[in-house]
């Protein structure tokens, strides 16, 4: 036990990770649809439509995440520009609304 190395864990707050929330909701929506759970499907659809509709803060944050994620196959200069623009746009989003 003396020789065991403690691994450092990255702290990750799932409640504040918009992309994770979106993907989890879509996954649950798919499960509800397959299971013919109409009530659950309707509830999840309402949440997605209300909070991730075009123009909403969470939609904008999700689009920023997607843009950065898709930049992985671009050259360094383009990726840096995408990241800088994403940071600029993100800094203008309401932290309270995102939370």
The answer to whether the predicted template modeling score (pTM) of the entire model surpasses 0.85 is no
**Digitized pLDDT (tens) for each residue of the chain, 99 residues in all:** 444 444 444 454 444 688 888 999 999 999 999 999 999 999 999 999 998 999 888 888 888 888 888 877 788 888 888 888 888 888 877 776 666
Distances (CA, A) of 79 to 33, 70, 72, 87, 92: 37, 9, 7, 12, 20
pLDDT, tens only, 4-25 = 444 444 454 444 688 888 999 9
Taken as a whole, the chain contains a residue count of: 99
For position 74, what pLDDT does the model report?
84
């Amino acid at each position: 036990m003396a020789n065991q190395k403690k691994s450092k864990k990255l702290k990750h707050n799932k409640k504040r990770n918009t992309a994770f929330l979106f993907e989890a909701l879509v996954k649950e929506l798919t499960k509800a649809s397959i299971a013919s759970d109409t009530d659950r499907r309707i509830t999840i659809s309402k949440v997605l439509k209300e909070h991730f509709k075009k123009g909403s803060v969470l939609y904008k944050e999700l689009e920023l995440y997607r843009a950065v994620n898709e930049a992985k196959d671009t050259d360094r200069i383009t990726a840096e520009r995408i990241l800088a623009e994403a940071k600029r746009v993100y800094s203008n989003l309401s932290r309270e609304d995102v939370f």
